[in-house]
Amino acid sequence: MLPGYHGCYLRIDVSDGRAEKVPLSETLLRQYVGGSGLGTRLLLDNGGATVDALSPDAPVIFAFSPLVGTPLTTSAKFAVVSRSPLTDRINDSLAGSGFALAGKGCGCDAIVLVGRADRLSLLVVDEGQVHLRSAAQWRGVSSAETEDEVRRMLGAEYRIASIGPAGERLVRYATISHDRRHAGRGGSGAVLGSKNIKAIAVRGRRHCEWAHPGELVALSRDLSQRSFGPATAKYRELGTAANLLTLNRFGALPTRNFQSGTFDRAERLSPEQLGVRYPRVRSGCTACTIGCEHLYEVDNKDVRLEYESLFALGSLCGVGAGGAVLRASQRCDEVGIDTISAGGTIAFAMECVQRGLIEADWLNFGSGDAVLKAIDLIGRREGIGDLLAEGSRRAAMAIGRGSIAFAPQVKGLEIPGYEPRALQTMALGFAVGSRGADHNRSGAYEVDLSDKVDRRRATLDSVRYAIETEDRAALMDSLILCKFLRGVFSEFYDEAADMLRLVTGWDVTADELHETARRIVAAKREVNVRAGWTPAEDTLPERFFNAPLPNDAAAALTREHLQELIAEYHRQRGWTPS
Amino acid sequence: MHVEFLGIPRQRARVSEVEIEARTLGQAFRVLSDQFPELRELISERGLHASVAANLNGDLFVTDPNTPLTAGDRVILLSSDAGG
C-alpha cells in the first residue's frame, strides 16, 4: 500500500446505506494530495458540479489527507467539499480534531455521501462497516448535544460530525460541527440536512505506514518546537480576536454593514477588555501545539470567540457590548450557522430597515437583542428569519429596490472582516475567490499589511501576491496543515515537500508542489465553470465602488481599477475570461 | 514622536502607546527595546522579528531601520499576521 494513504475512498448511498470502496490511483493522489484538493477532484468525478447542491444526487465529500495520523502538529484536520447551496459554486470547508483521525482510521482517504435517507438518520461508519439508524430523537437538537449523546450511546471511540437545527431546516449557511468546531462556511450543513443525515459517527484504527518514520518524527518534533515561538504568539496569547483593534486602527474594520471602516466601540470588544469581564481559558484541536482557541465564560458556558465572529456579530451589526457578541456567537453555534454569513445577512437586513426597505422596527444597528432574536428566527426559519436563512444575496433579490448594491457578499458568500477599500489586494482576493469572498482561501490581507504594497492603491504588482497567498492556502488546505503555522515556515514549499516525502516516499519537490497548488486552484475553478460561472461574478458589490470610506478619502476603489486587477489575475493564471 | 502598540507588541509592552525621541526607525526600535525589555525578542536596532510589522502614520508599512522620522510621526507596531 502507498505510505500515507489507503488508496481508496468510501462511497455511501445514504438512501439505503449501500457502501463501496472505490480505488484511488497514486497518480491522482499525488496530483491532488488530500483535503480540499482531493475533495475537489472527487466532486468533479462524482458529478457534483452540475447537480443542485440540495438534490439527492449531490455528493458531499469528507476528505482526509496523507498527514492525518502523523505526529506533525495541526495535521488532524478534514475537509468537507460539495457544491454550496449558498453560492451554487464550490464549497470546501475545513475543521480540526479527532473526526479526521477516526475517519481515516476507517481505511479510506475520503468518505463520499450521495442519496437521501428516508428519515432523519445517524450514519455509522465503523472500520468501513456502514449502517443507518434513526436520529429522530435528536431532531432540533444542537450539534454539540447531538455529538455528546451519540457518543454516549455508541461509545467513546466514536468521533461525530453533526448538524444543528439550521442544517435540518436547510439554512443555506448551516455548518457541520465536530468537537465544538465547524466546517463553517458555504452551507455544508444544509447539504447534509438535505440528505436527512443528522450526524456521522466514525470509528477506526487502521493506520497508514510512513515511508521514513524516524525522520518524520524528528521533523515533527522540530516543527512543534518552532510552533511555540513568536510566530504563533498572537494566536496563543490573544487569539484571532486581537485583529479587531489592528483592523480598526487601519480603517479596515467592517462596521454597520460596511458603511464605515472604524467602530467607536472597538476597544470594548478587544480580547484584553473581554478578558477583564469574562474569564478566559485556552484550548486547541487534537494534535495541535498552538492552542489558538480562547473560550470566554458567559452564563456558565464556555464560548469560543474568533475574530470573524467578533466582527460579524459585533462591529458589522454595530454591537459594542461584549456580552451580547459572545451570546450571539454561542447562539450561532447552538443553531448551527456560520457566524460570518449570519452577521453579514443580519447587518444587511439592519441597513434595509435603516433605509425603509423592509419593516422590522426591532432590527436596528447596535441592538444585541435584535441580533439574538434574528439568529433564533433564522434557525427556525420563522418570519423574517425564513428570508434571512437564504443569505444576503437571495434576500436582496427578494427585497429588490437596489438593495443588492449593499448586500455584503461575493458569489453569494458574505464578506469576512476586511474592508476591501482599505485593503485592496484583499479586494482582489475576494473578487476572484472560487467559493466567494473568503479570507481562508485568499490571505491577501497579510500582503496589504506589509511593505510589499500600498494597501489603498493596489497595482498590477499586487496581483502576484494575491495569487501566491491563494496557492499557498490551496496547498495547506490539501496537505492539510493549519494556516496559523504559516509564519513558522521560512520556505513553506520546501518544508511541505519534506513532509510529503517523509510520509509517502515520493521524491516530491517544492516546484512540484507549486504546480500542485495551481492545479488545485484550477480544479476549483473547473467546478465553478461547469456549475455555470460567468466572468461577471468576479467582482464586489456596487457599494465599494460608489464612495471612499468615511474619514479616509484615500480608501477608494473603482470598478474599472478592480477589473484591471482581475484581468491581470486571469492573465497570470493563464485563464481566458470565458 | 508617538508609538502605538497593537497585538503582541501591546501585550508585551503592557501599554497601548508611548512618546519617545528618535530620528530613524532603527533608533526608535533601540529606544523601545531599552524601555520595554519584554519587546527584545521582537525588536532590535537592526529590525523586527518577522511576526511584527511597523507602519508609519497609518499609511505605508516600513522595515528599513534608516527610515527617517520626524517629531510628529506616529509609528504603529503590530502583529504582522493580522488575519485569522
- 3-class secondary structure per residue, A117-142: CCCCEEEEEECCEEEEEECHHHCCCC
Q: Taking residues B21-32, what's their average pLDDT?
A: 96
Q: Are A38 and A8 in contact (CB under 8 A)?
A: no
C-alpha dist (Å) from residue A268 to A88, A302, A319, B46: 38, 19, 10, 35
Alpha carbon distance B48, A338 (integer Å): 36
pLDDT of residue B55: 97
Q: Are A268 and A322 in contact (CB under 8 A)?
A: yes
**Are residue A81 and residue A138 in the same domain, yes or no?**
yes
Judge whether A218 lies within some domain. no
Q: What are phi and psi of A79, to 5 degrees?
A: -110, 145
Looking at residue B60, which CATH number applies to its domain?
3.10.20.30
Judge whether B84 lies within some domain. no
> Of A203, A222, A247, which one is at a domain's C-terminal end?
A203
**Are residue A299 and residue A437 in the same domain, yes or no?**
no
**Are residue A437 and residue A548 in the same domain, yes or no?**
yes
Q: Which three cell numbers, joined as nine digits, stand for A371?
A: 441580533
Alpha carbon distance A316, A331 (integer Å): 17
> Of A414, A447, A481, which one is at a domain's C-terminal end?
A414
**Are residue A409 and residue A446 in the same domain, yes or no?**
no
**Are residue A337 and residue A441 in the same domain, yes or no?**
no
Looking at residue A478, which CATH number applies to its domain?
1.10.599.10
Query: In total, how many domains does chain A have?
Result: 3
Say which residues have a Cβ less than 8 Å from residue A376's Cβ, sequence separation at least 6. A331, A335, A385
Judge whether B12 lies within some domain. yes
- CB of A306 within 8 Å of any CB in chain B? yes
Q: Which residue has the cell 522595515?
A: B63
Residue A50, min C-alpha distance to chain B (Å): 32
- CB of B6 within 8 Å of any CB in chain A? yes
C-alpha dist (Å) from residue A548 to A407, A444, A545, A555, A576: 17, 20, 8, 5, 31
Query: In total, how many domains does chain B have?
Result: 1
Residue B44, min C-alpha distance to chain A (Å): 14
pLDDT of residue A128: 77
Check whether B83 has a pLDDT greater than 80: no
- CB of A437 within 8 Å of any CB in chain B? no
**Are residue A318 and residue A439 in the same domain, yes or no?**
no
Q: Which three cell numbers, joined as nine digits, stand for A141?
A: 437538537
- CB of A240 within 8 Å of any CB in chain B? yes
**Are residue A46 and residue A86 in the same domain, yes or no?**
yes
pLDDT of residue B47: 87
Judge whether A31 lies within some domain. yes
Judge whether A191 lies within some domain. yes
Judge whether B35 lies within some domain. yes
Q: Tell me the pLDDT band of B82, cut-offs 50, 70 and 90.
A: low
> Of A396, A414, A432, which one is at a domain's C-terminal end?
A414
Order of strands, edge to edge, in the sheet holding A110-114? Answer: A18-23, A8-13, A110-114, A60-63, A77-83, A90-96
Q: What residues in A contact B58, CB-CB < 8 Å? A: 249-251
Q: Taking CA atoms, what residue in A is nearest to B39? A: A230
Residue A445, min C-alpha distance to chain B (Å): 7
**Are residue A436 and residue A383 in the same domain, yes or no?**
no
Alpha carbon distance A156, A141 (integer Å): 20
Residue B21, min C-alpha distance to chain A (Å): 23
Q: What residues in B contact A443, CB-CB < 8 Å? A: 83
Q: Taking residues B3-15, what's their average pLDDT?
A: 96
Sign of the alpha-carbon torsion through B14, A417, A465, A509: positive
Q: Are A69 and A131 in contact (CB under 8 A)?
A: no
Judge whether A146 lies within some domain. yes
Range of the domain at A42: 8-203
**Are residue A15 and residue A137 in the same domain, yes or no?**
yes
Going by C-alpha positions, the residue among A381, A379, A392 that lies closest to residue A312 is A392
Q: Do A450 and B62 touch (CB under 8 A)?
A: no
Q: Do A249 and B7 touch (CB under 8 A)?
A: no
Q: Which three cell numbers, joined as nine digits, stand for A473?
A: 492556502
pTM: 0.97
Looking at residue A358, which CATH number applies to its domain?
1.10.569.10
pLDDT of residue A546: 83
Burial of B62 (0-12, 13-18, 19+ CB in 10 A): middle
Give residue-wise pLDDT tens across range A33-49.
999 999 999 999 999 99
Looking at residue A42, which CATH number applies to its domain?
3.60.9.10
Say which residues have a Cβ less than 8 Å from residue A304's Cβ, sequence separation at least 6. A180, A283, A293, A294, A295, A329, A333
Q: Are A433 and A88 in contact (CB under 8 A)?
A: no
Judge whether A224 lies within some domain. no
pLDDT tens sequence for chain A (578 residues): 899 999 999 999 999 999 999 999 999 999 999 999 999 999 999 999 999 999 999 999 999 999 999 999 999 999 999 999 999 999 999 998 899 999 999 999 999 999 999 999 999 999 979 999 999 999 999 999 999 999 999 999 999 999 999 999 999 999 999 999 999 999 999 999 999 999 999 999 999 999 999 999 999 999 999 999 999 999 999 999 999 999 999 999 999 999 999 999 999 999 989 999 999 999 998 899 999 999 999 999 999 999 999 999 999 999 999 999 999 999 999 999 999 999 999 999 999 999 999 999 999 999 999 999 999 999 999 999 999 999 999 999 999 999 999 999 999 999 999 999 999 999 999 999 999 999 999 999 999 999 999 999 999 999 999 999 999 999 999 999 999 999 999 999 999 999 999 999 999 999 999 999 999 999 999 999 999 999 999 999 999 998 999 989 999 999 999 999 999 999 999 998 66
End-to-end CA, chain B: 31
Judge whether A265 lies within some domain. yes
Judge whether A287 lies within some domain. yes
Q: Do B80 and A249 touch (CB under 8 A)?
A: no
- CB of A443 within 8 Å of any CB in chain B? yes
Q: Do A242 and B79 touch (CB under 8 A)?
A: yes
**Are residue A286 and residue A174 in the same domain, yes or no?**
no
Alpha carbon distance A252, A382 (integer Å): 34
C-alpha dist (Å) from residue A507 to A152, A241, A494: 45, 40, 12
Going by C-alpha positions, the residue among A441, A411, A413, A412 that lies closest to residue A426 is A441
Alpha carbon distance A274, A292 (integer Å): 16
Judge whether A217 lies within some domain. no
Count of other CB atoms within 10 angstroms of residue A367: 18
Rg, C-alpha atoms of chain B:
11
Going by C-alpha positions, the residue among A485, A209, A497, A256 that lies closest to residue A367 is A256
Q: What residues in B contact A306, CB-CB < 8 Å? A: 84
Check whether B84 has a pLDDT greater than 70: no
**Are residue A29 and residue A160 in the same domain, yes or no?**
yes
CB pairs under 8 A between A and B: 86
**Are residue A475 and residue A569 in the same domain, yes or no?**
yes
Alpha carbon distance B76, A250 (integer Å): 10
- CB of A250 within 8 Å of any CB in chain B? yes
Q: Kind of pairing, strands A60-63 and A110-114?
A: antiparallel
Q: What residues in A contact B81, CB-CB < 8 Å? A: 231, 234, 446, 484, 486-487
Alpha carbon distance A168, A379 (integer Å): 9
Judge whether B51 lies within some domain. yes
